[in-house]
Amino acid sequence: MSILLFSLRGVPDDEADEIRELLTEQDIDFYETPAGNWGVSMPALWLRDETELATAQTLLNTYQQQRFITQRALYLQTKPKTVLQAFIAKPLLYSVYFLAIGLVLYASIRLLFEFGL
């Protein structure tokens, strides 16, 4: 009987490809179900033989720990900038943005006071 190994819903394509490759390299017999035409079905990787479940889960846990470490390092290298860092990088552009925001706020508040609110 087939057993669910790994759900592919919300999994990036590169991660799914790496998992398929890992299972193939280790000669673990699996098959994949797609999400279907409307995305209602369950995209997943299934094992055909329940005796391979422990081995496959160990491989997946090891892979996911390694992926976490590499993806975390990649994220930390490309950490998003703060507003101050972005302003220092492009001061003219952000000055225009702040000026536009100020004008919109000024016009909004002025209209409120003109209508007597």
| Interval 9-41: pLDDT, tens | 999 999 999 999 999 999 999 999 999 899 889
Ordered domains of the chain (ranges, CATH): 3-77 (3.30.70), 83-114 (no CATH)
Q: Is the pLDDT of residue 85 over 70?
A: yes
DSSP state of 51: G
Q: Which residues contact 97 (CB under 8 A, 6 or more apart)?
A: none
- pTM to 2 decimal places: 0.68
Query: Measuring CA to CA, which residue among 33, 36, 1, 7 is closest to residue 19?
Result: 7
Question: pLDDT tens-digit profile of 48-66?
Answer: 999 999 999 999 999 999 9
